[in-house]
Amino acid sequence: MNNTVVFIIIFLISQNTMAQTGSRLIGTSGVTQIEGSSGSGLLPWATISGYADAAQSDFTLSYSSLDTKDYRFSMKSLSWGWNNRLELSVAKQQLDLQTLGPVIGIPDAQLKQTVIGAKLRLFGHLIYSKYPQVSLGLQYKSNNEFLVPSMVGAAKKQGVDVYLSATKLFLSKPFGFNGFATFNLRATKANEIGLLGFGGDINNDYRILVENSFGVFVKKNVALGFDFRQKKSNLGFAKESHWRDVFVSWLPNKHLSLTLAYVDLGGVATLKNQQGLYLSISGVF
Amino acid sequence: MNKQLIAFVLLFFFVNVNSQNINNQDSLFNRIGGMPTIERLTTDLVKRLKKDDKLGFLFEHTDEKDFQQLLTAQICYETGGGCQYIGLSMSDAHSGMDINSREFDEFVAIFIESMEHVGINFTNQNRMLKIFAPMRKDILNK
């Protein structure tokens, strides 16, 4: 199934390389983050997926995976960008518990979640306004399997994250390269971004968490950067760690992006030092 | 959370305040190779614009030579080459053309292709864009 998504992306790209894209400049699409929104590796940016400007729209299809010692994460997503104004997305996330599964007596245990996202650009333009581009986003998240989250004390299988995102591209800075920065505030009840449900035994209220991403385009179509995503614990059984990554994204053309990242998730559900390589591919059609 | 916010705000101001006011001997004009490069750039750019599917129509009645000379003078002036730009202001020059945001980005993409074509490196391309990007508000929807 996962291979199928990658195959479809490659097939569609091979059919579309000569086709017109939206008119925005290469890179302004961002790439697809772990919840299916336009952004970097771990967090959404204020960008709208794809390259559509006024009176245009396009789709972005993505597949991402991350392997740590004890977990395997994968995500497939589809998003629609319209007018450089609105983004709608749907993502399916899956986390294989290859170490914990046998421990809890469910050898093939998986956490699964669907994320439905909407993001509206409120004001500003990534490149051309002096102030950042600012967007408001929603992510409605729903666990497809609630057995494991309920076992560890999660209160609900559904939740809504709301985030405010500011992103700016700095032409020719620093040192002639084009820098970029994103700062987000997210209101959420999610446990491990929702894969372990929402709310729990030690907290059941919304919290405001900070996310940011900095980096630089070292070429027109190659970006290096890092992400930070703050996390807090609602569940007493294990403390959540902040998440970080360093990433490189390559956009050979406006139809394709590839991202490679080294991700540090810290401790996840009692298992410490979860680090690994993250790979993501997106096609824009 | 405060640390993160302060870091973001500081970065924002640092990169904005630290803008490139390069002094004359290290002007962008000299870095890109002076007048010969600009002449090649504008010649290539005008050719590309005229034959572009989406933008060609805007330059249908434009005299190629005049346009190229105006662009040359403007780029020379803006990059610190000491030329005088005698053309119209950006808003007057685009008056009645009703250029939209799609056409503007299309132009930027072609401008970048032209700069690549004449061998201007990536960092100097960005310095050029930095000079011309603020003119967008004077060009759109006139």
Spans in chain A with pLDDT lower than 70: 1-2, 17-18
* HSE-CB for A219 with a 13 A CA cutoff: 9
Per-residue model confidence (pLDDT) at position A12: 82
Of A208, A209, A212, the CB nearest to B8: A212
Across A116-148, b (16+ Cβ under 10 Å) vs e yields bbebebeebbbbbeeebbbbebebebbbebbeb
What are the beta bridge partners of residue A188?
Answer: A207
The C-alpha atoms of residue A201 and residue A204 are separated, in whole angstroms, by 7
Per-residue model confidence (pLDDT) at position A249: 98
Of A56, A172, A219, the CB nearest to B129: A172
pLDDT at residue B19 above 70?
Answer: no
- From the number of C-beta atoms within 10 Å of its C-beta (0-12, 13-18, 19+), residue B95 rates as exposed
The C-alpha atoms of residue A181 and residue A47 are separated, in whole angstroms, by 11
- Model pLDDT for residues A151-160, shown as the tens digit of each residue: 999 999 999 9
- Provide the strand spans (E) within chain A: 31-32, 38-39, 57-67, 72-82, 86-96, 110-123, 133-143, 158-170, 178-188, 207-219, 222-229, 243-253, 256-268, 271-284
Point out the least confidently predicted range of A19-28, B22-31, B101-110.
B22-31
Q: Total structural domains in chain B? A: 1
Say if B14 falls within a structural domain: no
Residue B125 neighbours by CB distance under 10 Å: 21
Least Cα distance to B112 among B133, B94, B97 occurs for B133
Say if B46 falls within a structural domain: yes
pLDDT band at B15 (very low <50, low <70, confident <90, very high): low
Interface touch A176/B18, C-beta < 8 Å = no
- Model pLDDT for residues A228-238, shown as the tens digit of each residue: 999 999 999 99
Least Cα distance to A169 among B11, B141, B121 occurs for B11
* HSE-CB for A269 with a 13 A CA cutoff: 25
Interface touch A212/B106, C-beta < 8 Å = no
The C-alpha atoms of residue A238 and residue A97 are separated, in whole angstroms, by 15
pLDDT band at B21 (very low <50, low <70, confident <90, very high): very low
Say if B15 falls within a structural domain: no
Does the CB of B89 have a partner CB in chain A at under 8 Å?
A: no
Interface touch A176/B122, C-beta < 8 Å = yes
Of A56, A181, A209, the CB nearest to B8: A181
The CATH number of the domain holding residue B119 is 1.10.490.10
Say if B53 falls within a structural domain: yes
Say if B4 falls within a structural domain: no
Which SS3 state, helix, strand or coil, does residue B12 take?
A: helix
Say if B8 falls within a structural domain: no
Per-residue model confidence (pLDDT) at position B14: 62
Share of chain B above pLDDT 90, in %: 72
Say if B44 falls within a structural domain: yes
Across A165-179, b (16+ Cβ under 10 Å) vs e yields bbbbbbbbbeebbbb
Supply the range of the domain harboring residue B31.
25-139
Best residue of B15, B21, B115 to probe chain A, by most A CBs closer than 10 Å: B15
Residue A260 backbone dihedrals phi, psi, to 5 degrees = -120, 130
Residue B71 neighbours by CB distance under 10 Å: 20
Residue A17 backbone dihedrals phi, psi, to 5 degrees = -55, -30
Say if B3 falls within a structural domain: no
DSSP tag of A37: S
DSSP tag of B99: B
pLDDT band at B20 (very low <50, low <70, confident <90, very high): very low
Best residue of A128, A229, A253 to probe chain B, by most B CBs closer than 10 Å: A128
Per-residue model confidence (pLDDT) at position B142: 87
Per-residue model confidence (pLDDT) at position B104: 96
Across B7-24, b (16+ Cβ under 10 Å) vs e yields ebeebbeebeeeeeeeee
The C-alpha atoms of residue A41 and residue A100 are separated, in whole angstroms, by 25
- From the number of C-beta atoms within 10 Å of its C-beta (0-12, 13-18, 19+), residue B86 rates as exposed
B64-78 vs B122-132: helix crossing angle, rounded to 10? 100
Mean pLDDT to the nearest integer, B1-19? 64
Which SS3 state, helix, strand or coil, does residue B46 take?
A: helix
Does the CB of B141 have a partner CB in chain A at under 8 Å?
A: no
- Taking CA atoms, what residue in A is nearest to B124? A176
- Taking CA atoms, what residue in A is nearest to B16? A170
Per-residue model confidence (pLDDT) at position A11: 81
Per-residue model confidence (pLDDT) at position A6: 86
Per-residue model confidence (pLDDT) at position A17: 67
Mean pLDDT to the nearest integer, B99-121? 97
Domains in chain A, ordered, with CATH? 2-284 (2.40.160.40)
Residue A271 neighbours by CB distance under 10 Å: 18
Q: What ipTM describes this predicted complex? A: 0.91
